[in-house]
Homo-oligomer: A and B are copies of this chain.
Amino acid sequence: MMDTETRDLLPEGLEDRLPQDTAAATRITRAIMDVLDSHGYDRVQPPGVEFERSLASRMAGIETRRMVRFIDPSSLRMMALRSDITPQVGRIAVTRLKDAPRPLRLAYAGQVTAIKGDGLDPTRERLQIGAELIGHAGTAAAGEVVAVAIEALQAAGATGISVDFTMPGLVDALAAGPWPLTPAQLDAVRRELDAKDAGALVTEGGAAYLPLIHATGPLDAAIARLEALALGEVLDERIAALRQIAARLPAGVRLTLDPTERHGFEYQSWFGFQIFADGVRGAVARGGSYSILGEPAEPAVGFSLYPDPLITALAAHEAPRDLLFLPLGHDTGAAARLRAVGWRTVAALGDACDAATLGCTHRLEGDEVVAL
Protein backbone atom coordinates (compact mmCIF):
# COMPACT_ATOMS: atom_id res chain seq x y z
CA MET A 1 0.00 0.00 0.00
CA MET A 2 1.41 3.32 -0.99
CA ASP A 3 1.93 6.14 1.42
CA THR A 4 -0.57 8.86 0.40
CA GLU A 5 1.97 11.63 0.81
CA THR A 6 4.40 10.03 -1.62
CA ARG A 7 1.75 8.70 -3.95
CA ASP A 8 0.30 12.13 -4.65
CA LEU A 9 3.36 14.29 -4.26
CA LEU A 10 3.96 16.88 -6.96
CA PRO A 11 7.52 17.60 -8.07
CA GLU A 12 9.10 20.82 -6.81
CA GLY A 13 8.04 23.80 -8.91
CA LEU A 14 4.87 22.16 -10.26
CA GLU A 15 1.45 22.90 -8.81
CA ASP A 16 -2.24 22.23 -9.15
CA ARG A 17 -4.39 25.26 -9.74
CA LEU A 18 -7.52 24.89 -7.61
CA PRO A 19 -11.02 26.24 -8.50
CA GLN A 20 -10.68 29.83 -7.28
CA ASP A 21 -7.30 30.37 -8.94
CA THR A 22 -8.35 28.55 -12.09
CA ALA A 23 -11.47 30.70 -12.42
CA ALA A 24 -9.24 33.77 -12.19
CA ALA A 25 -6.77 32.26 -14.68
CA THR A 26 -9.56 31.52 -17.16
CA ARG A 27 -11.08 34.99 -16.82
CA ILE A 28 -7.71 36.73 -17.13
CA THR A 29 -6.56 34.63 -20.09
CA ARG A 30 -9.79 35.33 -21.93
CA ALA A 31 -9.62 39.06 -21.17
CA ILE A 32 -6.04 39.27 -22.46
CA MET A 33 -6.70 37.17 -25.57
CA ASP A 34 -9.82 39.22 -26.35
CA VAL A 35 -7.78 42.44 -26.33
CA LEU A 36 -5.12 40.93 -28.61
CA ASP A 37 -7.84 39.61 -30.91
CA SER A 38 -9.58 43.00 -31.02
CA HIS A 39 -6.35 44.58 -32.32
CA GLY A 40 -6.17 42.05 -35.15
CA TYR A 41 -3.72 39.56 -33.64
CA ASP A 42 -4.58 36.08 -34.93
CA ARG A 43 -4.06 33.31 -32.42
CA VAL A 44 -1.89 30.36 -33.43
CA GLN A 45 -1.13 27.22 -31.45
CA PRO A 46 2.24 25.53 -31.89
CA PRO A 47 2.74 22.11 -30.27
CA GLY A 48 4.08 21.83 -26.71
CA VAL A 49 6.85 19.52 -27.91
CA GLU A 50 9.19 19.94 -30.90
CA PHE A 51 12.63 18.95 -32.08
CA GLU A 52 15.11 20.67 -29.78
CA ARG A 53 16.83 22.21 -32.79
CA SER A 54 13.68 23.88 -34.15
CA LEU A 55 12.93 25.46 -30.79
CA ALA A 56 16.24 27.32 -30.93
CA SER A 57 16.81 27.88 -34.63
CA ARG A 58 14.76 30.99 -35.35
CA MET A 59 15.95 33.32 -32.59
CA ALA A 60 19.41 34.19 -31.33
CA GLY A 61 20.37 33.37 -27.77
CA ILE A 62 17.77 30.66 -27.04
CA GLU A 63 19.33 28.13 -24.70
CA THR A 64 18.10 24.55 -24.84
CA ARG A 65 20.04 23.63 -21.70
CA ARG A 66 17.08 24.43 -19.44
CA MET A 67 14.54 22.54 -21.55
CA VAL A 68 13.10 19.13 -20.74
CA ARG A 69 14.66 16.94 -23.47
CA PHE A 70 14.14 13.36 -24.57
CA ILE A 71 14.79 11.13 -27.58
CA ASP A 72 11.96 10.81 -30.09
CA PRO A 73 11.46 7.04 -30.50
CA SER A 74 10.25 7.47 -34.07
CA SER A 75 13.01 9.75 -35.49
CA LEU A 76 15.67 9.03 -32.83
CA ARG A 77 16.28 12.80 -32.73
CA MET A 78 16.29 14.97 -29.62
CA MET A 79 12.97 16.54 -28.77
CA ALA A 80 12.19 19.13 -26.09
CA LEU A 81 9.31 20.75 -24.26
CA ARG A 82 9.04 24.38 -25.24
CA SER A 83 10.34 26.86 -22.70
CA ASP A 84 9.27 29.91 -24.75
CA ILE A 85 6.52 30.21 -27.35
CA THR A 86 7.96 33.27 -29.14
CA PRO A 87 10.49 31.33 -31.28
CA GLN A 88 7.72 28.89 -32.25
CA VAL A 89 5.55 31.77 -33.45
CA GLY A 90 8.56 33.12 -35.38
CA ARG A 91 8.97 29.71 -37.01
CA ILE A 92 5.30 29.66 -38.04
CA ALA A 93 5.57 33.20 -39.43
CA VAL A 94 8.52 32.43 -41.71
CA THR A 95 7.37 28.96 -42.79
CA ARG A 96 3.67 28.18 -43.08
CA LEU A 97 2.68 31.87 -42.99
CA LYS A 98 5.59 33.15 -45.09
CA ASP A 99 3.20 34.26 -47.83
CA ALA A 100 0.71 35.93 -45.46
CA PRO A 101 0.68 39.74 -45.89
CA ARG A 102 2.93 41.83 -43.63
CA PRO A 103 2.69 43.20 -41.04
CA LEU A 104 1.57 39.84 -39.66
CA ARG A 105 -0.02 39.98 -36.21
CA LEU A 106 0.02 36.72 -34.24
CA ALA A 107 -0.96 35.88 -30.67
CA TYR A 108 -0.57 32.82 -28.48
CA ALA A 109 -1.30 31.46 -25.01
CA GLY A 110 0.04 28.25 -23.53
CA GLN A 111 2.10 26.55 -20.87
CA VAL A 112 5.89 26.58 -21.03
CA THR A 113 8.15 24.25 -19.08
CA ALA A 114 11.71 24.32 -17.76
CA ILE A 115 13.63 21.35 -16.42
CA LYS A 116 14.65 23.33 -13.34
CA GLY A 117 13.45 26.42 -11.55
CA ASP A 118 15.30 29.68 -11.99
CA GLY A 119 17.44 30.83 -9.06
CA LEU A 120 15.15 31.53 -6.11
CA ASP A 121 11.97 30.81 -8.10
CA PRO A 122 11.36 27.04 -8.23
CA THR A 123 8.51 27.35 -10.78
CA ARG A 124 9.02 24.94 -13.67
CA GLU A 125 5.77 25.44 -15.56
CA ARG A 126 4.02 28.70 -16.26
CA LEU A 127 1.52 30.33 -18.52
CA GLN A 128 2.90 32.48 -21.33
CA ILE A 129 0.64 34.77 -23.35
CA GLY A 130 1.93 37.07 -26.03
CA ALA A 131 1.65 38.90 -29.28
CA GLU A 132 4.15 39.31 -32.10
CA LEU A 133 4.01 41.95 -34.83
CA ILE A 134 6.07 40.55 -37.68
CA GLY A 135 7.46 42.39 -40.69
CA HIS A 136 7.81 45.79 -39.03
CA ALA A 137 9.95 46.74 -36.06
CA GLY A 138 9.82 50.52 -36.28
CA THR A 139 8.49 53.09 -33.87
CA ALA A 140 4.84 52.68 -34.89
CA ALA A 141 5.04 48.90 -34.42
CA ALA A 142 6.80 49.25 -31.05
CA GLY A 143 4.22 51.80 -29.90
CA GLU A 144 1.34 49.53 -30.87
CA VAL A 145 2.86 46.56 -29.07
CA VAL A 146 3.46 48.44 -25.80
CA ALA A 147 -0.01 50.01 -25.92
CA VAL A 148 -1.69 46.65 -26.60
CA ALA A 149 0.27 44.99 -23.78
CA ILE A 150 -0.87 47.68 -21.33
CA GLU A 151 -4.49 47.47 -22.53
CA ALA A 152 -4.42 43.66 -22.16
CA LEU A 153 -3.06 43.87 -18.61
CA GLN A 154 -5.61 46.50 -17.65
CA ALA A 155 -8.43 44.37 -19.11
CA ALA A 156 -7.13 41.50 -16.96
CA GLY A 157 -7.48 43.72 -13.89
CA ALA A 158 -3.88 44.84 -13.37
CA THR A 159 -3.48 48.23 -11.71
CA GLY A 160 -0.57 50.57 -11.00
CA ILE A 161 1.09 49.77 -14.30
CA SER A 162 4.57 51.07 -15.03
CA VAL A 163 6.76 50.53 -18.07
CA ASP A 164 10.55 50.46 -18.03
CA PHE A 165 12.10 51.13 -21.45
CA THR A 166 15.51 49.89 -22.49
CA MET A 167 17.78 50.62 -25.47
CA PRO A 168 19.32 47.22 -26.20
CA GLY A 169 21.54 48.22 -29.14
CA LEU A 170 22.73 51.51 -27.70
CA VAL A 171 26.08 50.40 -26.28
CA ASP A 172 27.04 48.64 -29.53
CA ALA A 173 26.10 51.77 -31.49
CA LEU A 174 28.13 54.04 -29.21
CA ALA A 175 31.12 51.68 -29.33
CA ALA A 176 30.98 51.78 -33.13
CA GLY A 177 30.67 55.59 -33.08
CA PRO A 178 31.35 58.36 -30.60
CA TRP A 179 32.72 56.20 -27.72
CA PRO A 180 34.94 53.62 -29.43
CA LEU A 181 35.87 50.34 -27.71
CA THR A 182 37.86 47.27 -28.72
CA PRO A 183 35.78 44.08 -28.98
CA ALA A 184 37.26 42.83 -25.69
CA GLN A 185 36.46 46.15 -24.00
CA LEU A 186 32.93 46.09 -25.43
CA ASP A 187 32.19 42.75 -23.76
CA ALA A 188 33.56 43.99 -20.43
CA VAL A 189 31.69 47.29 -20.66
CA ARG A 190 28.41 45.53 -21.44
CA ARG A 191 28.94 43.22 -18.48
CA GLU A 192 29.71 46.05 -16.02
CA LEU A 193 26.77 48.10 -17.32
CA ASP A 194 24.51 45.08 -16.71
CA ALA A 195 25.93 44.93 -13.20
CA LYS A 196 25.71 48.75 -12.86
CA ASP A 197 29.23 48.64 -11.39
CA ALA A 198 30.67 52.12 -11.93
CA GLY A 199 34.11 51.27 -10.50
CA ALA A 200 34.62 48.18 -12.66
CA LEU A 201 33.32 50.09 -15.68
CA VAL A 202 36.14 52.63 -15.33
CA THR A 203 38.74 49.87 -14.73
CA GLU A 204 37.62 48.13 -17.94
CA GLY A 205 38.19 51.28 -20.01
CA GLY A 206 34.53 52.28 -20.14
CA ALA A 207 34.75 55.57 -18.25
CA ALA A 208 32.98 57.33 -21.13
CA TYR A 209 29.94 55.17 -20.47
CA LEU A 210 29.55 56.25 -16.83
CA PRO A 211 26.84 58.86 -17.60
CA LEU A 212 24.61 56.08 -18.96
CA ILE A 213 24.41 54.50 -15.50
CA HIS A 214 23.05 57.78 -14.18
CA ALA A 215 20.58 58.35 -17.03
CA THR A 216 18.22 55.90 -15.36
CA GLY A 217 14.83 56.61 -13.81
CA PRO A 218 11.66 58.51 -14.77
CA LEU A 219 11.57 58.77 -18.57
CA ASP A 220 11.63 62.56 -19.04
CA ALA A 221 14.48 63.13 -16.58
CA ALA A 222 16.49 60.22 -17.97
CA ILE A 223 16.03 61.48 -21.52
CA ALA A 224 17.10 64.97 -20.44
CA ARG A 225 20.33 63.50 -19.03
CA LEU A 226 20.97 61.57 -22.23
CA GLU A 227 20.33 64.63 -24.39
CA ALA A 228 22.82 66.59 -22.33
CA LEU A 229 25.48 64.17 -23.61
CA ALA A 230 24.93 65.56 -27.14
CA LEU A 231 25.90 62.28 -28.79
CA GLY A 232 24.25 63.09 -32.08
CA GLU A 233 22.16 60.97 -34.38
CA VAL A 234 22.84 57.59 -32.74
CA LEU A 235 21.09 58.73 -29.59
CA ASP A 236 18.70 61.34 -31.03
CA GLU A 237 16.88 58.79 -33.17
CA ARG A 238 16.40 56.48 -30.22
CA ILE A 239 15.16 59.29 -28.00
CA ALA A 240 12.73 60.50 -30.66
CA ALA A 241 11.37 56.97 -31.00
CA LEU A 242 10.92 56.56 -27.25
CA ARG A 243 9.07 59.87 -27.11
CA GLN A 244 6.71 58.77 -29.89
CA ILE A 245 6.06 55.46 -28.17
CA ALA A 246 5.47 57.18 -24.82
CA ALA A 247 3.07 59.67 -26.44
CA ARG A 248 0.59 56.99 -27.43
CA LEU A 249 0.44 55.27 -24.05
CA PRO A 250 -2.49 55.94 -21.72
CA ALA A 251 -2.23 58.60 -19.02
CA GLY A 252 -1.48 57.30 -15.54
CA VAL A 253 1.11 54.75 -16.68
CA ARG A 254 4.47 55.50 -15.03
CA LEU A 255 7.36 55.44 -17.53
CA THR A 256 11.01 54.91 -16.73
CA LEU A 257 14.18 54.38 -18.75
CA ASP A 258 17.18 52.17 -18.14
CA PRO A 259 19.27 52.76 -21.28
CA THR A 260 21.87 50.02 -20.74
CA GLU A 261 19.73 47.26 -19.23
CA ARG A 262 19.38 44.08 -21.32
CA HIS A 263 17.38 41.80 -18.97
CA GLY A 264 19.25 38.86 -20.47
CA PHE A 265 17.60 39.38 -23.86
CA GLU A 266 20.62 39.30 -26.11
CA TYR A 267 18.45 38.95 -29.19
CA GLN A 268 16.72 42.32 -28.85
CA SER A 269 17.62 44.96 -31.42
CA TRP A 270 16.89 48.65 -30.76
CA PHE A 271 14.02 48.57 -28.29
CA GLY A 272 13.03 46.70 -25.14
CA PHE A 273 10.56 47.10 -22.31
CA GLN A 274 9.33 45.52 -19.12
CA ILE A 275 5.94 46.11 -17.51
CA PHE A 276 5.25 46.04 -13.79
CA ALA A 277 1.96 46.06 -11.89
CA ASP A 278 0.77 46.54 -8.32
CA GLY A 279 0.95 43.44 -6.15
CA VAL A 280 3.14 41.50 -8.57
CA ARG A 281 6.80 40.96 -7.79
CA GLY A 282 9.02 41.25 -10.86
CA ALA A 283 8.00 42.07 -14.42
CA VAL A 284 4.57 40.83 -15.51
CA ALA A 285 5.41 41.40 -19.19
CA ARG A 286 8.55 41.78 -21.27
CA GLY A 287 9.03 42.65 -24.89
CA GLY A 288 10.96 44.44 -27.56
CA SER A 289 12.22 44.38 -31.11
CA TYR A 290 14.14 41.42 -32.53
CA SER A 291 14.88 39.50 -35.72
CA ILE A 292 13.42 36.20 -36.81
CA LEU A 293 16.50 34.43 -38.17
CA GLY A 294 16.46 33.34 -41.79
CA GLU A 295 17.56 34.42 -45.25
CA PRO A 296 16.61 37.20 -45.12
CA ALA A 297 15.99 37.80 -41.44
CA GLU A 298 12.63 39.38 -40.70
CA PRO A 299 12.15 42.23 -38.22
CA ALA A 300 9.59 41.81 -35.46
CA VAL A 301 8.42 43.37 -32.23
CA GLY A 302 6.38 41.66 -29.57
CA PHE A 303 5.79 40.95 -25.93
CA SER A 304 5.24 38.05 -23.57
CA LEU A 305 3.08 38.16 -20.48
CA TYR A 306 3.70 35.73 -17.63
CA PRO A 307 0.35 36.12 -15.85
CA ASP A 308 0.73 33.53 -13.05
CA PRO A 309 1.68 36.01 -10.30
CA LEU A 310 -1.04 38.40 -11.50
CA ILE A 311 -3.57 35.54 -11.37
CA THR A 312 -2.54 34.73 -7.81
CA ALA A 313 -2.77 38.39 -6.83
CA LEU A 314 -6.20 38.89 -8.42
CA ALA A 315 -7.75 35.51 -7.49
CA ALA A 316 -8.02 36.59 -3.87
CA HIS A 317 -10.25 39.48 -4.94
CA GLU A 318 -12.50 37.73 -7.47
CA ALA A 319 -16.13 38.39 -6.57
CA PRO A 320 -17.87 35.22 -5.37
CA ARG A 321 -20.38 33.94 -7.90
CA ASP A 322 -24.03 33.11 -7.37
CA LEU A 323 -24.91 29.41 -7.47
CA LEU A 324 -28.47 28.19 -7.99
CA PHE A 325 -29.58 24.92 -6.38
CA LEU A 326 -31.90 22.75 -8.49
CA PRO A 327 -33.89 20.43 -6.19
CA LEU A 328 -34.89 16.87 -7.16
CA GLY A 329 -37.69 16.92 -9.72
CA HIS A 330 -37.03 20.58 -10.66
CA ASP A 331 -38.37 22.13 -13.85
CA THR A 332 -35.50 21.34 -16.24
CA GLY A 333 -36.80 23.79 -18.85
CA ALA A 334 -36.74 26.62 -16.33
CA ALA A 335 -33.22 25.64 -15.27
CA ALA A 336 -32.00 25.67 -18.87
CA ARG A 337 -33.55 29.11 -19.45
CA LEU A 338 -31.85 30.45 -16.32
CA ARG A 339 -28.46 29.04 -17.41
CA ALA A 340 -28.97 30.69 -20.79
CA VAL A 341 -29.19 34.08 -19.08
CA GLY A 342 -26.06 33.47 -17.02
CA TRP A 343 -27.12 31.52 -13.94
CA ARG A 344 -24.79 28.81 -12.70
CA THR A 345 -26.71 25.79 -11.43
CA VAL A 346 -26.04 22.70 -9.32
CA ALA A 347 -28.57 19.87 -9.58
CA ALA A 348 -29.48 17.62 -6.66
CA LEU A 349 -28.66 13.97 -7.38
CA GLY A 350 -30.52 12.57 -4.36
CA ASP A 351 -32.11 13.52 -1.07
CA ALA A 352 -28.71 13.91 0.55
CA CYS A 353 -27.79 16.83 -1.75
CA ASP A 354 -28.24 20.00 0.21
CA ALA A 355 -28.19 23.57 -1.13
CA ALA A 356 -26.32 25.07 1.83
CA THR A 357 -23.66 22.35 2.00
CA LEU A 358 -22.99 22.73 -1.72
CA GLY A 359 -22.43 26.46 -1.26
CA CYS A 360 -25.52 27.56 -3.18
CA THR A 361 -26.72 31.14 -2.86
CA HIS A 362 -30.15 30.58 -4.45
CA ARG A 363 -32.70 27.82 -4.90
CA LEU A 364 -35.11 27.13 -7.76
CA GLU A 365 -38.71 26.77 -6.55
CA GLY A 366 -41.09 26.09 -9.43
CA ASP A 367 -39.77 28.58 -11.98
CA GLU A 368 -38.78 31.11 -9.36
CA VAL A 369 -35.32 31.86 -8.03
CA VAL A 370 -35.31 32.29 -4.26
CA ALA A 371 -32.28 33.70 -2.41
CA LEU A 372 -31.04 31.56 0.48
Contact = CB atoms under 8 A, between A and B. Distances in A.
A48 B125 contact: yes
Residue among A4, A43, A45, A97 with most chain B CB within 10 A: A45
Contacts of A26: 33, 43
A221 interface: no
A229 interface: no
Interface string A58-84: 100000000011101111010101000
A344 B88 CA distance: 25
Nearest to A23: B43
A347 B70 CA distance: 43
Contacts of A73: 115-116
Interface residues of A, number: 91
A125 B49 contact: yes
Given A22-B44, A75-B11, A357 B16 contact: no
A343 B92 contact: no
Interface string A339-372: 1000111110110010001110000000000000
Contacts of A48: 48, 111, 113, 125
Interface string A1-38: 11010011111111111110111011000100100011
A8 B38 contact: no
A42 interface: yes
Given A10-B51, A25-B45, A141-B349, 5 more contacts: A11-B74, A12-B75, A18-B97, A101-B358, A138-B349
